[in-house]
Structure formats: structure tokens, C-alpha cells
Structure 1
Amino acid sequence: MSGAEDSSSNPPDLVNENTTSTPTPKMETSKTEDSGGETDDSLVIVDPSDVVTDSPPEALQIFSIGSEEDAYSFTFHEAKLQSVLAKVPEDCKVSVVSVVGAFRTGKSFVLTFFLRFLNLLEENPSLVEEDSQWYNQLESVGNKGFEWKAGSERNTTGIWMWNQPFFLNGGKLAVLLVDTQGMFDHETTMTLTTCIFGLGCLMSSYMIYNVDKRIQEDNLQHLALFTEYAKMAMASNETDRDKKPFQLVEFLVRDWQHFDDEEESAVKMAESMQAYLNDEVMQMREANDLKETREQINDCFQKVSCFGLCHPGTKVTKKKYDGAVKDIEPEFLKLLDLYCRRIFSDKLTPKIIHGQELGPQEFFNYTKAYAAMFADGAKFPEAGTMLDATASANNTNARDEALKIYKEVMDRIAGPSCSSFVNVQQLEDDHKHNVTQALEIFDARANFGSSKNIQKSRRDVQIAIDEQFVSYRKLNEQRNPLFGMEIYIIPLATAGISYLVKFFVDLTCSHNVCISTSQLLKEFMSFALCFLGILVITKFEQIREFYDRIQGMYKAMNQPPPKPKQD
């Protein structure tokens, strides 16, 4: 499919203005890069406070691809992804909506409309909910999004993510929009195309496969090629091989020409597209290779769906098109409205890997592991490599979750915000109980991959918890009213000795030297008592709590036993 053919029937692709650059391939990190430019490729947890999050809304290139000279190596721009995920609360889940497909078929055009819909939904929910023609509020799709330019040449390179998450379901779900490099152009090898497709698939919870005019057999074969391979790679045992590793793929058929009636409702059009998928495209064939292709797709995705968009109008395909909404066919806008509502509904699910819904840090860990796996774009990763990467990220997420749970509970018992002293033995018991719970959480999540690596990660959890407990123990010791009693005893002893010496001097000597000495001792004693008073005031609350506990224990010990009941 040539670029000229694609651009003649579909809107111009929209990209970031810096897409044509090719950075020097290396792994970027915001935490581990030293002055010499070397980086540590190990998985690290980056503190969101270290990441700049106040940048204006724009698309960020999180993966760039090198040239033939550097073996088409993938560069993971780690700090950019972290800057996006730092805007997502820790307890929020992440959903990734991506668009993949052939180059110059209008992928970025659709994504820009997604942006407009989500922005309006965020700014004025009632407008979008009540007005099915919200798009009339827009004068132009313009360049304030995934930037666009007309022509038949490739624009988008690598993988891009919008730097502002959108929150749905009452703020519980953060939606990330992802645009990918167009496939099947004259500059991209088949292996590199498969890698881009594969990385997009691994990252996505809702993957839109953009196709032109109809779903062809090669579209199905390309989809099956990677997904079946990935399913084998991600399966660590026979049980996993029976599970569907990916969530949803949706064929978005552009310039669909076979709607029954131009006046047909948008809902009817959506239904006819699903029927087209089920009854024609995915219907089992007698030929073994055709049958296997469809089985592979169904075995890899939990859901396969389809939606169609009619032609947006001849004005949209012109090179001089400036993004004006008035130049877009009304029927196309109606379908696009229906499509936006279909995707960004309360049915949109978080990204799930091995049954676990991913939060921002977990999603980052998996993406970083996959980035290292796809570093060599000229070579598709081996199945074992993919399994190791997924298992490694899963172990990291299990470790983080176990530590998080342990810290949350222990912070309430003896954390920095606590003021009460906890009995040493009680603190030890609480620690042991919470260690058991944390390790149970780790064991439940770290459930695939090498048992040796799982055990190593489990030991790391134990070591990290033990180190954390040392901090809790020190904090608790400092809250003990008897902790540092020497600071009370010294001024008290000083005042007492000064008093006794003064009393003896006053009693036995009336010389001027003795009188001066007595006065000096009096001032010394006053200073010591004032210092002691300040200490008592600052520690009063802890001393009172300690006194109340001692008093309670004394009353309990001296309380007479209850009298036996008389029949």
C-alpha cells in the first residue's frame, strides 16, 4: 500500500514537530545517569518529586528508533515516561489506549479527536453528556495535539505518549493515549515493524488496529504473527498457555464504503461493523492456514471487536487542509462521536498483566523491562528474553507492593507521625505479623518465571523490611519517656549538689568569699532547674502518657479479684 494511496483517502497523519530527529541510541534515565554519560540499566524506582510535571500539554516521544547504522536500536526515554506517570496518583490504575497500523492512514488524526473529546469531558462533562454534537464547539482540530502535516511521507517515528493523563471513573482510572510509528512503509524492515507492533501491544490495554477500507487477510496475519509468539513467550507454564495474555484489539476500518444506507443511524452502523467482523472476517475457514490465523488471534485477545468510519470528506485529504471541523463530513463526525463514547466509557479497563491491574509505578516497571528487551530493533527478542523481562518486572512490582503494605501498617504503629511509645515486645510482634502478611502478598504476585529469581527477590524484600524495621525501632526508642534520662538526671543532680553545697557554706561560713560562692551556687542551681523545667515541658505529653500507662498497670495489678457468684 503506497503512501500516495493512503494519503489520498485518509486525513493527514498528526505528529509532534520533532518526529524526524533520530537521537543517539542510549538508555535515558533521570536517576542513574552520571557525569560521564553512563547509565545503570537496572530497574529503579524514580521518586516522582524528582520529575518535572508542569510542562505544557504535548506529545512526548517515549521510544525513538535508530537507523540502519546502529541496528535500529530502540531508545527508551525513561524520564519522559516518568514525567507522565508522576501525574497519576499512586492508588490510581492505568489504562493505555494506543493506535497502530500502516503509515499515512490517519492514526494521529483520530488520536487528536480523542484528545479534544477528553479535554471537553474534563472541562465540561455536562456538555459532552448532553450534546452529541460536542465537536461543533471546535473550530479546528489544529496543531494543539498530535501535530499534523499533509503529504504522503512518513511523519511519526517511534512511540509517542500524550503527557497529560485523563481521569475517568471518578478519578480511579488514568487514561494514557499512545501513538505509534506507521508500519509497512518503504524505510521500515519487517522485523522492526513487528517490534513496534509488539511493543505497542505489550503496553496497551485497548489497542486500535487502524486499517484502510476493509480488514484484509494480511492484516490478520500480521496481528497473529506477533500475538501468538508473545503468548508463548509470556506463558511460564502449561496453565498460562491456556490464558489470553492481551486484553482488547479493535479493528478501526477507515473509509468504510459498505454501510447499507447513508441515512442509517450511527448505532446501526456500529452493529453492522461488528457483524462484518464476526460473520465475514473472523469466521472459520476450511484452509488450515486461514483457520490457524483466526484461532491465534482469538486465543491471544480476550476481546476482538470492530468499528468503521466513513470517508471524512475530500477537503480533509487536501494538502492545504488546516484542520477546520466544518470541512469534515457530518456523518464522519457522528460516527467519531459514537466511537469516542464507546471507548472512554465506564467499561474501559486498566492494563492487566497476569491478572494484576497496574498502577503507575507497576506500568513503568513493565515498560522499562520491555524497553531493554526491544533495545535491538533489528532482532526480534527471543521467547525466553520476553518471559524473563516480564517475570523480572513482575517480581519488582511484587516487591514494591509488599514493602508498601508493610510500611503502611507499620507507619500507623510506629511511623514518624506517631507520638506514643510502643512496648518493645509488642513492636517486635507487630513487625513479625506484618512481615508474614507482606511476604504472603509477594508470594501471591510473584507467581511466574524462574523460581531462583523469585526467591532472590523474596530475600530482597526480607532485607528491605529488616532495614526498615531498624528505623521504626529507633523512632520508637526516641518516644520512650525514659529514653535519654541522663538529660534529666544531670541537671537534677547538679541542682541538688549545688543546693547541698550552698546549704553547708551558708551554715558554716560568713566570709565575703563564702557569701559570693553561695550566690554563685544559687544561680547555678536556678539555671539547672530552669533547664530541667524546659525539658519537662517539651516531654510533658510523653511523660503524661507514660504515667497514665504505669498508673493503669498499677490499678490492674491491685484490683481485687471478682467475687464468685453465689447460687
Structure 2
Amino acid sequence: MIAAAMSALRPMTEPVCLIENIGGNKLVVNKEAEKILLEIMQPVVVIAIVGKYRTGKSYLMNKLAEKRTGFPLGSSIQSKTKGIWMWCVPHPSHPNQTLVLLDTEGLGDVEKGDCKNDAWIFSLAVLLSSAFVYNSVGTIDQQSMEQLHYVTELTKRIKVKSSPQRKDETGEYKKFFPSFTWCVRDFCLLLEKNGKSLTEDEYLMSSLELRKGSDKKIQDYNLPRECILRFFHTHKCFTFDRPTSTKKLQHLEELEEEDLEEDFVEQARRFYQYMIGNSHVKTLDGGLEVTGRMLAVLATSYVKAIQSGAVPCMENAVLALAEIENNGALQDALSRYECEMNKQVSRFPTETQKEFLNLHKDCEREAITVFLDRSFNDKDQRYQRKLKELVQNKMNQYSTRNEEASRAFCRKLLKQLSVKMEDGIHKGRYSIPGGHKLYLIEKLKVTGNYNLTPGKGTKALEVMQQYITEKKEIEAAILQADESLTEKERQLAEERAEAERAEREREITEKKNQELQQCIEDQKRSFEEHKVLLLKKMEEERKRMIAENEKVIKRKLQEQEAMMKAGYDDKILALQKEIGELRQKNQSSDSSCIIL
């Protein structure tokens, strides 16, 4: 979609607050950060990190920004980050993408007193990111799972649909939620289980294994694990040794890599490589890539919902975003049409209407491309039909300018060509016997030279007819005053002049009919052009949707395997139904519904 002009990223030397947490109970989108995002037309890879305060989250985010300082690390028990802070940097591997790093305030900060909005900070990080990092200290045990209770509240904090068809919409979350990476800091255990070595990922998946049983204790044990498995589409784990001594940790920002433990440096390097190499562009339903501008709108929409007391709804946010983007796409497309047509004004008047329509066709194609690049979720092609109407109106305006340019050129030309004839009329040169013949010779020279002059445009015949009509009474007076002519000759001259006038009228009518037919054909051409380009876009969206659904099916099959091990027959049936629905959706997808 966003193959149009990419906006260069305004350099950010340091992070700015994206979502302010005022007094621990009010969330507000920061205008400066919003402005920065609105200027980013590139797709964004959004990595957000959450976790308890003073667990080293900011160090990892600075690492991703390839900076030693930026997000404040803090050197005391006081939390340094409030709200959600943002740092937009060029993506180190993909120049056509922007990396957006989100560092969140520490969860469970005792200074906040009232920490009820911790869950909202957690939820916003999930909603805005394409890669979600959870940072904790020690090991992945029951205590750390209990500290991750925010994940169990996501169904209360986030709605997928405004009016879900079924009560349980958790099956939809995997389509929209980010990847999940668990970073375990100050890890000091051996990675092994039952005497067998484990990888970090195996350690995570082993920790997420569900227990069999239905009593409350087992349900409480399984709930956070099940949520992580169900909501997030991929799962990754990194363990980190302690970076240095406790005393040196107070000055971590000032330390060079050689001052840190080698294992920690290597672990941080692997974390960086994985997150940069495997974090994808944030997408919406159907695989639509999110730009910085769109991320700003989503952030504002979610925060407004929270502050109004409502639950943020992804469907409503996308609908609001579509309204803004489609209106923007309409204006962008119309501006592009005007810009391209203004470049052609210097070529006015065009020699023929067909030549003008060819100019219009090229400019309209540019406009449609611009529109389709930015627009999305344009139900019933409402905005595209509006574009077609607006472009037609603009085309009519340019057509009028083209015609006026033709009239102006032709009038000026006739004025230049008829200087001698006008002088003769003024001086009475034709008011003598034989004067009518002299007048006809001079008029013939004027009309002959006029017809031979190129570049007159579409109104050449009409202007000539108007010119002859204006001279009709003068010619009639000259004819009547010519004493050398008999009455019969005068009558023949009048009939000849009338026949010439009638012939020009016929030519004018024929030309108008021809131009009308060309306009009708151009409208058909325009419809087909809109249709072809729209079908191409819809086919791309269909393929993207199928690819996204196939990814979700694959992830749900993995989730099903975990449920089978835990003996969750009822959940297996629900998963099988969800997988079946996705497969059916892929088989029945169609991109041929055009109502332009």
C-alpha cells in the first residue's frame, strides 16, 4: 500500500514521551511525539518493552537504538520512566522502514500508590507494538508468572470487535497481537531439565506448559501461561547474566563494553540481532502495514477510549483510522491530479479534445495510484467513487481552461491576420464598384492563413464562425454598395455566404458530437482503469489476507498441540473450529466485488 513517496525520518537525538501518565491516573498523548509520528510515512517496526521498574528495560532499548544513553537507566530504586516513551530511529537493516522503540514505566512502582493504570500501560504496549518484550529478574517461576498477571486481564482491557459474534473472542487475538519475547535478567541457573540441556526457547516453552486438572489452583496456575500461548503468535526467550558488579551498575550508562561481563555483552548482542532481524512491520487486519502516521492515530484513538472509560476496541480504532486515511488518500490523490494537470497547462490549448483527454488520462492514473496506495478498508468503494467524481469535476474545469486558451489564441490570431482587412473597412476601401470582390479576396486570405496556423485548439471552428457572424452586417453593406454587381450576383453572393455559414455549423455540430463520443469513451476508459487498478489492489489484499490466515493457522496448530498435552478437550474443539473458519475464509475469499 505505501509504495508512494517515503517521508525522511526527522532525526531524533533522544526519546520523547509518547503517552504521558499524569498523576498516575490520567493518560495523554504528547503532541510533540504525535507530530513526529504523523510525519513518518514509512512502515514502522514497533518494539515495546514492559516489566517491573528497575529491571534494566531501558538498557535493552538503548541497545536497540545503538546508543549507550537515551532512555534513562536510573541508578536508584526510583523509577525514571513515566508513561510510555518513544524513540524513532532509522531501521538498521531496512532503509524503507522506521524502527519505533517504546519504553514503558515500571510496573508495580511503589511511588505511584495507586497502580491501577499499570494494566493500561501494559495493554497499550501490546496494542501499539509489533514485537512485545517482557523483562523480569531471576527465573521464570510461578512468582514471575503471577507478576505477569496483566496478561490475564487483556480480555478485559482490549476488544477485537465492537460487537463480537461470539462471547469468547480470544481466538482472534493471535491475529492482531505482537510477538512475545521474555528477557530474564540476572539469570544464574543452569539451563537444564531432568538432566538434559535446554535452549532458552525450550526453557520458556517448558515454563509455559499447562498442567492437567480443573481445580482452581491448577486453573490459576495455567491462566497466565494459557494467555501467553493463546494471545501472542511467537515466543522467544533470552537469559542474561548480571552485567557487572552492583556498585558499577549505578554508573551503567558510563561503562564501556569492556567494563561489562563478556557473557552479558554476548547475550545483549544476540538479543539485538534477533529483535532487529525478526521483528516485523506492525500490521492491521489483512496484513495492512502501519505507517508512523497511522500509529499516531491508533495511539490517540486507544488513549481516548481509555480516558472515556471505555475498553479500547481494535475494530473501532481501525475504522476511525480508515476514515482519516481514506479522506487523506482522497485529498492526496486530488492534489496529485491537480499538480500533474498544472504541469500540462503550458500545453494548452491542445489541438484536439482527444489530446486533452490523453493528458487527463495520464494524470488520472497517477491520482488513482496515489489513492489506492494510501486508502484501505474502503467499504463499497465509497471514497474511490468520490475520487472519480471529484476528478471528473476537476477535469471539466481544466477542459474549460483548455477551451478558453483556444478561444483566446484564435481571437488573437484573427486580430493579427485581419489587420489589413480591418484597415480597408475603416478607410472605405471596399465601398467602391468591385469592392465586394476585393473584400472576399482579403477575407479568403484571412481564413486561409487562419486554417493553416497550428495550435488553435478545440474552439477554432467556433471562433471563426463567431468572427464571420460579427462581420456579416459589414459584408452585407459592402455587397449592397457594390454598384458593379447585378441583383442576381448579389443574391448568389448571399446564398454562397449562407452556405458557407451552414457548412461551418455542420462541422461544428459534427465536431461536438465527436467530442461528446470521445468523452463517453473516456468515461468508460476511466471506469475500466479504476476497476483494473482496484482489482489489482484487492487481489494483493486477498493474497496478503490468505498469507496472514495461514500464519495464524500454523500458530493455532501449535497452540492445539499444547492444549492436547494438557488434556483440554473443550479448548481443542474451539481451536479446531477457529482453524476451520480460517481455512474456509481462505477458500471463499474473492476480490471481484466491484460496484464503482
SS of aligned partner of 1:374: helix
Cα distance change of structure 1 residues 103 and 275 upon mapping to structure 2, 3 Å threshold: same
Aligned partner of 1:366 among 290, 298, 302:
298
How far 1:431 moved relative to its partner? 11
Provide, for residues 519-546 of structure 1, a one-character-per-residue CA deviation record: whole Å limited to 9, x for no partner: xxxxxxxxxx9xx99xx99x699999xx
Correspondence list, 1:157-196, <5 A:
157-169=82-94, 171-188=95-112, 189-196=114-121
1:82 matched residue in structure 2: 35
Q: Distance in 2 between matches of 1:304 and 1:227?
A: 19
Cα distance change of structure 1 residues 148 and 94 upon mapping to structure 2, 3 Å threshold: same
The answer to whether the Cα contact below 8 Å between 1:107 and 1:179 also exists between their aligned partners in 2 is yes
1:396 matched residue in structure 2: 324
The answer to whether the Cα contact below 8 Å between 2:406 and 2:459 also exists between their aligned partners in 1 is no
Cα distance change of structure 1 residues 322 and 338 upon mapping to structure 2, 3 Å threshold: closer
How far 1:247 moved relative to its partner? 2.3
Cα distance change of structure 1 residues 350 and 440 upon mapping to structure 2, 3 Å threshold: closer
**Is 1:199 paired with 2:124?**
yes
SS of aligned partner of 1:210: strand
1:59 matched residue in structure 2: 15
2:187 matched residue in structure 1: 256
* Stretch deviating more after TM superposition (327-336 or 469-478): 469-478
1:467 matched residue in structure 2: 390
Structure 1: runs of 5 or more not aligned: 1-46, 120-140, 262-267, 447-453, 510-528, 545-549, 558-567
1:225 matched residue in structure 2: 153
SS of aligned partner of 2:178: strand
Aligned partner of 1:490 among 406, 411, 417:
411
2:138 matched residue in structure 1: 213
Cα distance change of structure 1 residues 149 and 291 upon mapping to structure 2, 3 Å threshold: closer
How far 1:185 moved relative to its partner? 0.9
**Is 1:108 paired with 2:58?**
yes
SS of aligned partner of 2:199: helix
2:530 matched residue in structure 1: none
Q: Distance in 1 between matches of 2:371 and 2:9?
A: 34
Q: Distance in 2 between matches of 1:426 and 1:506?
A: 47
The answer to whether the Cα contact below 8 Å between 1:94 and 1:173 also exists between their aligned partners in 2 is yes
Amino acid at match of 1:275: E
Correspondence list, 1:403-442, <5 A:
415-418=341-344, 423=354
Cα distance change of structure 1 residues 496 and 164 upon mapping to structure 2, 3 Å threshold: same
The answer to whether the Cα contact below 8 Å between 2:182 and 2:238 also exists between their aligned partners in 1 is yes
Q: How many residue pairs are counted as aligned between the two chains?
A: 419
SS of aligned partner of 1:306: strand
Cα distance change of structure 1 residues 201 and 235 upon mapping to structure 2, 3 Å threshold: farther
SS of aligned partner of 2:82: coil
How far 1:164 moved relative to its partner? 3.0
Amino acid at match of 2:389: D
TM-score, structure 2 normalization: 0.59
1:547 matched residue in structure 2: none
Q: Distance in 1 between matches of 2:275 and 2:105?
A: 22
Cα distance change of structure 1 residues 105 and 272 upon mapping to structure 2, 3 Å threshold: same
TM-score, structure 1 normalization: 0.62
Q: Distance in 2 between matches of 1:316 and 1:418?
A: 71
1:147 matched residue in structure 2: 72
1:445 matched residue in structure 2: 377
The answer to whether the Cα contact below 8 Å between 1:370 and 1:390 also exists between their aligned partners in 2 is no
Amino acid at match of 1:473: N
How far 1:258 moved relative to its partner? 1.1
**Is 1:502 paired with 2:423?**
yes
Structure 2: runs of 5 or more not aligned: 431-445, 461-506, 515-596
Name the Cα RMSD after superposition.
4.6
Provide, for residues 80-125 of structure 1, a one-character-per-residue CA deviation record: whole Å limited to 9, x for no partner: 2332452x4x3x3211011111111111111112222xx7xxxxxx
**Is 1:291 paired with 2:222?**
yes
**Is 1:279 paired with 2:229?**
no
Provide, for residues 160-185 of structure 1, a one-character-per-residue CA deviation record: whole Å limited to 9, x for no partner: 1114332533x233211111111111
Amino acid at match of 2:35: Q
Cα distance change of structure 1 residues 503 and 181 upon mapping to structure 2, 3 Å threshold: same
Cα distance change of structure 1 residues 172 and 436 upon mapping to structure 2, 3 Å threshold: closer
Q: Which has the larger radius of gyration?
A: 2
Q: Distance in 2 between matches of 1:466 and 1:167?
A: 43
SS of aligned partner of 2:269: helix
The answer to whether the Cα contact below 8 Å between 1:231 and 1:300 also exists between their aligned partners in 2 is no
